[in-house]
Structure 1
Amino acid sequence: MKKILLLFFLFSTLSSVAQVTIERTKTNNDLKLSALPYYSYGRGLGLTSPDSLFQFNIRFRMQNRMTYLQEEDTEGAIDGQIRRLRLRFDGYVGDPKFLYAIQLSFAPGDVGEVQEGENVNIIRDAVLFYRPNRHWSIGFGQTKLPGNRQRVNSSGALQLTDRTINNARFNIDRDFGFQVHNLNESFDKFSYNFKAAVSMGEGRNSTEDPDNGLAYTGKVELFPLGAFTRDGSYFEGDLVREATPKLLFSGAYQFNNKGRRTQGQLGTELYDKRDMQSILLDAMLKYSGWSFQTAYMQRIADNPVTFNPLDESDVQYVFTGHGFDYQLSYIFPSDYEIIGRFSTQRVKDDIHFYTPHTNQYSLGLTKYIWEHSFKMQGEFTLNDMEYFNGSNRQDWYIRFQVEIGI
């Protein structure tokens, strides 16, 4: 209990210190693209050549966190880490219609454990875009696929310290390939976007032996009441306090032919390839400081369990099943925000023997100092797990996190 109180005291103290006034710029990044996987409050730090044939912007972002974890029937533990440390670059070369975006990660949790025979995952994004006009964007390289809303949003634009359990298990992620986006957004009338991608299906930084299996992704985004202010669909919470209600409906579908990993673009290697289908549905509503979002995610695969040919007791399985997320928040005029979230995850009977059904409950308090670019977050999360044999287990954690970047 003393450790929990210490974390709350630290959060409260830093929140008080953070009352300093910071001058804000209202200028949007003129190189923003719908596929760029990060939140930007301004332009970052940029250079433009005298002949205007080259532009280079640089940004950084880091998340530092402290967590107290309590797993059932075990002693509590304290974890402190740099959760994310990223460098980001974007700009154009020769002509503003030809844009590039690069993002590198350096924190251990981002890079992952170095394993023999596998690549180091420093590169998150390396993509070239051709933007002939404001309606079309064509990309080639590695970046996020047009998937679930929370996954498309930067981890730095989240209200809580992590995405949901369903995003962790069912979502599609970064991949190498081609993307085409058709954007048709207006603030005062019905708007829509169409997005499609053909990618390798193996996830980021993969150099596995080539095969003839690809991933095909399509997405539709609908804005019945017009587009959100300052691209508000790309960050959580109604930080801009929408003067009129804004609503988003979106749906994405992916077919991953001959997928090699347990979660398509993510996870460990399967012992045999499997075809996978992903269905991702979202809705978001923002108005006058209130924000509500919900999501449905599902992964489908026949015969999801694969066996080691040398030891049939050793298995790897496609994570199949479905889940729902619900998230509600309100931001006060003082820039404090309260957030509540509930997620439920149900796995398919084929894999329930290996992994539980899970419900997740989260409560959060965030203090925005410079919108999502500089904020402090406190969170309590409880995981309630139901196993194949009927037993239950509960784990929980309390966390304090600081995010800062440009």
Structure 2
Amino acid sequence: MKTIKKLLVISILMVPLFGAAQIYLDKYNFGEGLNFSGEKGYKMRLEGFIQPYMETKRYTGTDDSELYNRFRMRRLRMQLSGSLADEKLSYRLRLDLSGTSEADLDEANSNILLDAYIRYSIDDNLSVTFGQKSTPTDNRELNINSQTLQLPERSRITSVFSTIREFGVFLDGTYRITPGGMYVRPAVAITNGDGQNAFKKDYGGLKYGGRLDFLPFGLFSNFGQFREADIVRERTPKLVVGMNYSYNDGVSSRRGRNSGSILYLNDRNEEELPDFIKLGVDFMFKYQGFSMLGEYVKGSAKVSKDITQRVRNDGSVSSGFEIDGQQHVANYIKNRMMLGEGYNIQAGYIFTNLISVDARYTHLRADKYSFMNNGTFYNRPNYYTIGVSKYLSRNYGAKIQASFTYVDAAPGSNDNAGNPIDGNEWVGRLILTIGF
């Protein structure tokens, strides 16, 4: 699999060579990339953006609580995409040069390679993609481009349950089902089930899943289904309602994101892994500057009775699965997985002067045995966020965003250093986006 992925990247870089001997700059609009075309109809686009970011956090309950400040380049992304003359064959190569991860610190993976795939359009309604990309089995916010987010960061639902990107085969369709403009968008994915891990060994079996989106009022304008705020101010109401499901046959991490981070064996010292199941429903609505996004996700597990050993971080093997002094294999394994449910609801409005006011509420409910009860990274059931954004162009080319989040910390929660906290916490964020 590692060799296949390397060959795919090389193939993507070679696609332009087959399209045309010469290419010319066709047009450039700020924030929308450099668009090139070839004398034989070949098309290519080079685009990217940077996001300097600042975060400050404080814990309530004590007067002398310290401020935790964080400054970093949140994202620094470059993307090369294109298609041949008949647009049947297209490709994308996306890199992140910031050195940070879209994931949390509990299971971060800061791979430079984000997207690397080749797509073939079977007809006007159906396409097949092979490579690494975002998966339709994640919640709706993971189908939203990072440059177009409504708030400085994605919701906690995304960080808890999503796999972000996967390597595999993807089938995507768009079908008009009524003369009045109703559409359905089915998607099917068969992936390695190990998340964004382009150059690592694959563990476990495959992951199978899909999504079905229903658009009763027609398609969104200017790819609005994949952009959060309604900057184009939809002239008629637009709505998409979707459902997604996935079954990961043998997961070697908390939710199928970081391959090989958690491994188990049977009594014959053979790899034996639990399965991870995820179900979600979501919607997005836009009309004349107003937008609303709602998501629900539930994660569950199926633990094999054949698991008798676990692999420690140092590579040694142990048969101990103790919880509160008692041996319990299934519950011990579940304690290391993201099991439970949560929902996220957010809404905002962009005024004609390109100032946006937004709000979000996220709720998480962990199973009794789940890593969502971890005191340092999670164990926080409620997140209340308000934000304001100023768009500096009438697209997503430049904007500045600020938000304030108040977090309910459940008993047993810790600060960043692992020390117990008595109260709750608040987080302030500031991010600047510049694209080309």
User: What's 2:384 paired with?
Assistant: 361
Instruction: Indicate how the Cα distance of structure 1 residues 65 and 359 shifts in structure 2: closer, same or farther if over 3 A, else same.
Output: same
How many residues get paired? 363
Instruction: Indicate how the Cα distance of structure 1 residues 212 and 380 shifts in structure 2: closer, same or farther if over 3 A, else same.
Output: closer
Q: If each structure's strand is expressed as a fraction of its own residues, which one has the higher value?
A: 1
Equivalent position to 2:66, from 75, 89, 107: 75
Equivalent position to 1:325, from 344, 352, 363: 344
Structure 2: distance between partners of 1:187 and 1:61: 39
User: What's 1:140 paired with?
Assistant: 130
Q: Does 1:182 align with 2:202?
A: no
Structure 2: distance between partners of 1:369 and 1:210: 43
TM-score (norm 1): 0.81
User: What's 2:154 paired with?
Assistant: 163
User: What's 2:288 paired with?
Assistant: 288
Superposition RMSD on alpha carbons, in Å?
3.0
Deviation of 1:157 (Å): 1.3
Q: Does 1:121 align with 2:111?
A: yes
User: What's 1:12 paired with?
Assistant: none
- Identical aligned residues as a percent: 25
Structure 1: distance between partners of 2:294 and 2:206: 29
User: What's 2:192 paired with?
Assistant: 200
The amino acid of 1:51's aligned partner reads: K
User: What's 2:46 paired with?
Assistant: 58
Consecutive unaligned residues in structure 2, runs of 5 or more: 1-28, 265-272, 323-331, 414-419
The amino acid of 1:402's aligned partner reads: L
User: What's 2:38 paired with?
Assistant: 49
The amino acid of 2:254's aligned partner reads: T
Consecutive unaligned residues in structure 1, runs of 5 or more: 1-39
Structure 1: distance between partners of 2:85 and 2:351: 45
User: What's 1:247 paired with?
Assistant: 239
User: What's 1:30 paired with?
Assistant: none
The amino acid of 2:353's aligned partner reads: S
Structure 1, 102-111 or 327-336: larger mean CA deviation: 102-111
SS at match of 1:150: helix
Structure 2: distance between partners of 1:65 and 1:187: 46
Instruction: Indicate how the Cα distance of structure 1 residues 211 and 335 shifts in structure 2: closer, same or farther if over 3 A, else same.
Output: closer
Deviation of 1:46 (Å): 2.8
Structure 2: distance between partners of 1:119 and 1:362: 26
Q: Does 1:227 align with 2:257?
A: no
Instruction: Indicate how the Cα distance of structure 1 residues 245 and 56 shifts in structure 2: closer, same or farther if over 3 A, else same.
Output: closer
Instruction: Indicate how the Cα distance of structure 1 residues 156 and 42 shifts in structure 2: closer, same or farther if over 3 A, else same.
Output: closer
Deviation of 1:207 (Å): 4.5
The amino acid of 2:388's aligned partner reads: L
SS at match of 2:374: coil
Deviation of 1:318 (Å): 0.9
* Contact persistence 2:109–2:258 (CA under 8 A): no
Report the structure number with the largest CA radius of gyration.
2
User: What's 1:396 paired with?
Assistant: 426
Instruction: Indicate how the Cα distance of structure 1 residues 97 and 80 shifts in structure 2: closer, same or farther if over 3 A, else same.
Output: same
TM-score (norm 2): 0.76
SS at match of 2:261: strand
Structure 1, 221-230 or 65-74: larger mean CA deviation: 65-74
1:244-289 alpha-carbon deviations (Å, 9 max, x no partner):
2111100110101001111212487113221011112111111122
Instruction: Indicate how the Cα distance of structure 1 residues 260 and 132 shifts in structure 2: closer, same or farther if over 3 A, else same.
Output: same
The amino acid of 1:386's aligned partner reads: A
* Contact persistence 2:244–2:279 (CA under 8 A): yes
Q: Does 1:130 align with 2:150?
A: no
Equivalent position to 2:405, from 363, 368, 381: 381
SS at match of 1:192: strand
The amino acid of 2:252's aligned partner reads: R
Structure 1: distance between partners of 2:344 and 2:144: 15
SS at match of 1:349: coil
* Contact persistence 2:31–2:434 (CA under 8 A): no
Structure 1: distance between partners of 2:109 and 2:349: 42
* Contact persistence 2:40–2:85 (CA under 8 A): no
Deviation of 1:211 (Å): 5.2
Deviation of 1:402 (Å): 0.6
Deviation of 1:177 (Å): 0.6
* Contact persistence 2:185–2:212 (CA under 8 A): yes
Structure 2: distance between partners of 1:41 and 1:326: 31
1:217-236 alpha-carbon deviations (Å, 9 max, x no partner):
11000011111122211111
* Contact persistence 1:261–1:268 (CA under 8 A): yes
